[in-house]
Chains A and B, each alone.
Chain A
Amino acid sequence: MRRRRFPWFVISALVVGAGFYVALPGFAATVGPVTDSIGVVKIAKGQPVTVAYWMVVAGPDASLGIDTRRGVEIAMEGKGGKLLGHPIKLIGEDTGCNAEGGVTAATKLSANRDIVAAIGSNCSSEAVPGAPILWKAGISTVSPSNTAPKLTAADRGPTFDGYLRTAHNDKVQGRVAAEFAVKVPKVKRAATIHDGSPYAEGLANVFAETLKKLGGTITAQEAVSPTDTDMRPVLTKIAVGKPELVYYPIFISAGGHVTRQAKEVSGLANVKLMGADGMFSPDFMKAAGDAAVGMYHSSPDLSPEALGPKYKDFLDKHQKKYGEKPLAPFHAHGYDAANMIFAAIEKVAMKDASGNTYIGRKALRDALFATKNFKGLTGTLTCDKFGDCADPKIAIYQTESADPAKWDPGKNPKKIYP
Chain B
Amino acid sequence: MRGAWARKGTLVDLYLWAFRVVVILVVIWGTFGTLRAGTYSREHWIDFAVFGLSQGSIYALIALGYTMVYGVLRMINFAHGEVFMSGAYTAYFVADAFGRSGYLNRNPLVSYLAILVVAMLTSTAIALVVERLAYRPLRRAPRLVPLISAIGASFFLQYAFRGLYGSGFKAYPEPEVLKGKWVIAGIGILRSQVIVVVGAALMLLVLYWFVMRTKTGMAMRAVSEDKDAAALMGIDVDRVIVITFALGAAMAGAAGVLYALVFKQVHFFMGFVPGIKAFTAAVLGGIGNVPGAMLGGLFLGLVESVGPALFLDGLGIVAPYQLKDVIAFTMLVMVLIFRPSGILGERLVVKKA
Q: Which residues of A contact B (CB under 8 A)?
A: 58-60, 62-63, 196, 221-225, 227-230, 232-234, 236-237, 239-240, 252-253, 256-257, 260, 264-266, 283, 286-287, 289-290
Contact = CB atoms under 8 A, between A and B. Distances in A.
Contacts of A229: 259, 263, 265, 273
Contacts of B171: 256, 286-287, 289
15 contacts: A60-B267, A60-B269, A223-B321, A224-B322, A229-B265, A229-B273, A233-B321, A240-B39, A264-B190, A265-B47, A266-B43, A266-B188, A283-B169, A287-B169, A287-B171
A237 B309 contact: yes
A345 to B, nearest CB: 32
A153 to B, nearest CB: 22
Nearest to B174: A289
A236 B181 CA distance: 16
B188 A233 contact: no
Contacts of A236: 44, 47-48, 51, 309
Interface of B: 39-40, 43-44, 47-48, 51-52, 55, 162, 167-171, 174, 181, 188, 190, 259, 262-265, 267, 269, 272-273, 304-306, 308-309, 313, 318-322, 324-325
Contacts of A266: 43, 47, 188
A305 to B, nearest CB: 32
A62 B165 CA distance: 14
Most A Cβ at <10 Å: residue of B51, B272, B273? B51
Nearest to B52: A233
Interface of A is mostly: helix
Contact of A223 (B190, B263, B322): B322
A58 B167 contact: yes
A256 B170 CA distance: 11
A234 B318 CA distance: 12
A234 B313 CA distance: 12
Contact of B168 (A239, A257, A283): A283
Nearest to A260: B264
B167 A59 contact: yes
Contact of B321 (A58, A63, A237): A237
A223 B318 CA distance: 9
A229 B263 CA distance: 7
A240 B40 contact: yes
A256 B263 CA distance: 9
Contact of B319 (A59, A221, A230, A260): A221
Contact of A234 (B168, B181, B321): B321
A62 B167 contact: yes
A264 B192 CA distance: 11
A237 B263 CA distance: 19
Which of B264, B272, B324, B325 has the most chain A CB atoms closer than 10 A to its own CB? B264
